[in-house]
Amino acid sequence: MTQGKLFERDWRSLLEAILRINSATDIALLQRISLECLRALVPSDQYAFFISRTGTREALGEPYIMGVEAKYLDKFMVGDYNTGEDAETFFSGRHILSHNTETSRDSDQIPEDYLVETRIYKEIYAPQGIHYGMRSSLMFRRKFVGSLELFNSKKRGDYTDKQLEIMTLLAPHIANRLGLLMDAESRSNSSPTLVPEEIKELFHLTDREAEIVSMLSTGAEDHTIINELYISGSTFKKHLYNAYKKMGVSSRTQLFNTLLAAKSNSAKKTKRPRPNGNLS
């Protein structure tokens, strides 16, 4: 019985998919790459990648869709299918209890004769030919961050044990990358927006020092800065040490707060009313 067995080619494909997933530099790109990888590894009629910025299923964002057109999506997004009996039936809460990314087939959760009587099946699935589903609840640091949902027609058939295993292995990597990108996005939205030229002038830094400080302020990690600037680790540390010394800081937190203060002072100066030119 080899239905659920992964062969060497499957593992190679999984490793390639994981590399692609971890190369995603923004959330929209991650959604596309993830579904492309799943499309190659787990053939389905329809794929959906939902993002949750609230940590709950009740307020999922507009999904990235691949495969056949997702009909009745507007109806699904404004309906209450994520709450009540349908939610308990389709969206297992095991991931919340275990704090881990969980993957399951609909057929593992509910009998088929019960499935076809649910409201979501009658109103959303059946009208567009969907019958089988498989989904992963994506968790990052004990928080629900999104959902991967795959669907098949009755003709294509239910998902195999092997397909379940592939998605089970891939989903945690997608969840981890999504969580990291959401964290970086959050930091970027609240980070100082001083450009390198402003930082250079305010703190008397060199061009390279100002560039590094500016990138750090957006949440970029050391290895990212080193790679993007094509410098060595020792050169990066030397520039960072000199920038710290000139700015009078000794940690990333102090650097961040110093830049926020400089940004705030700059904004106040910009808002000062100009003289109207009248002499009294």
Give, for 48, the enclosing helix (H) or strand (E).
Answer: strand 46-51
Separation of first and last alpha carbons in the chain: 96
User: pTM (2 decimals)?
Assistant: 0.66
Rounded Cα gap, residues 223 and 152, in angstroms: 41
How do beta strands 143-152 and 46-51 pair? antiparallel
Alpha helices in 106-160 (DSSP H): 106-109, 112-115, 119-120
Cβ atoms within 10 Å of 169's Cβ, excluding its own: 17
Write out the chain's pLDDT in tens, 280 residues: 355 689 999 999 999 999 999 999 999 999 999 999 999 999 999 999 999 988 777 667 889 999 998 887 777 766 666 656 665 556 555 555 567 999 999 999 889 998 898 888 999 899 999 999 999 999 998 899 999 999 999 999 999 999 999 999 999 999 999 999 998 877 666 656 678 888 999 999 999 999 999 888 877 788 889 988 899 989 999 999 999 999 999 888 888 888 888 877 765 554 444 444 443 3
- Which whole-number Å values give the CA distances from 154 to 86, 112, 190, in the listed order? 20, 11, 47
Please give the structure tokens belonging to residue 21: 């997933």
Quick check: 61 and 50 in contact, CB under 8 A? yes
Q: Please tell me the predicted confidence (pLDDT) of residue 279.
A: 38
Sheet harboring 64-67: ordered strands across? 64-67, 46-51, 143-152, 132-140, 102-105
Q: Please tell me the predicted confidence (pLDDT) of residue 227.
A: 86
Q: Please tell me the predicted confidence (pLDDT) of residue 34.
A: 98
Q: Please tell me the predicted confidence (pLDDT) of residue 272.
A: 46
**Cross-strand pairs, 152:** 132
Rounded Cα gap, residues 148 and 50, in angstroms: 6
Give, for 138, the enclosing helix (H) or strand (E).
Answer: strand 132-140
- Phi, psi for 250 (deg, rounded to 5): -135, 10
Quick check: 143 and 172 in contact, CB under 8 A? no
- Phi, psi for 169 (deg, rounded to 5): -75, -35
